Amino acid sequence: MRLRGFVAVIAALVVFVGGAQAQYYGGGGTAPAQAQTGKPALEKGVKARNLVTSLGGFRGTANVPVVLTGQIVEIEPGGQTGRQRHLVPSYIYVLEGTLTTNSEGGPVGVAGAQYHSEGQSYMDALGVWHNHSNAGQKPVRYLLLLIGTPGGSTTQKAGADD
């Protein structure tokens, strides 16, 4: 009787520990692979540079399903994008030259001309009309990232009435 009780306790313990292990490790029953030395991997050979805007540090929040699209835009000397507004959050990083942004400003933006040089970033105010142009002697190239939703429009070009 005593042996039977002992075996029952051991069996219950094995089932309990095995169930807890399976729950903790996602049902696989085995621990995730660990580095052989047990030491955490340290950063090595990595350079990171924070991106800032003319208004301070770059920050943005998205809590919906997103579609991230990007393009390299090049504006020739004397060229411009034309009056437009982004209907979704947008992020610009200037690769070459100096980009001039003339904006209406909106409720939180800065109205008027702003200049963004190579290596600088900028986030257009959502829904605010603006025009990007190049007043320099060489082309301006920038990375434009648009954070939209599936099937949604990202940019609106101004019509004759806008």
Q: Convert the pLDDT of each residue in 96-135 to its tens digit.
A: 999 999 988 766 667 888 999 999 998 888 889 999 999 9
Specify the pTM: 0.60
Report the relative pairing of strands 140-148 and 90-96 from DSSP bridges: antiparallel
Q: What class has domain 52-157?
A: mainly beta
Nearest in space to 84 (alpha carbons), one of 76, 92, 96: 92
Nearest in space to 61 (alpha carbons), one of 35, 97, 39, 89: 89
Which tokens go with 128? 């605010």
pLDDT at 107: 65
pLDDT at 64: 67
pLDDT at 25: 47
For residues 123-150, give the mean pLDDT.
Answer: 91
Q: Is residue 36 pLDDT above 60, yes or no? A: no
Buried b (16+ CB within 10 A) or exposed e, 81-93: beebbbebbbbbb
Average confidence score pLDDT of the chain: 76
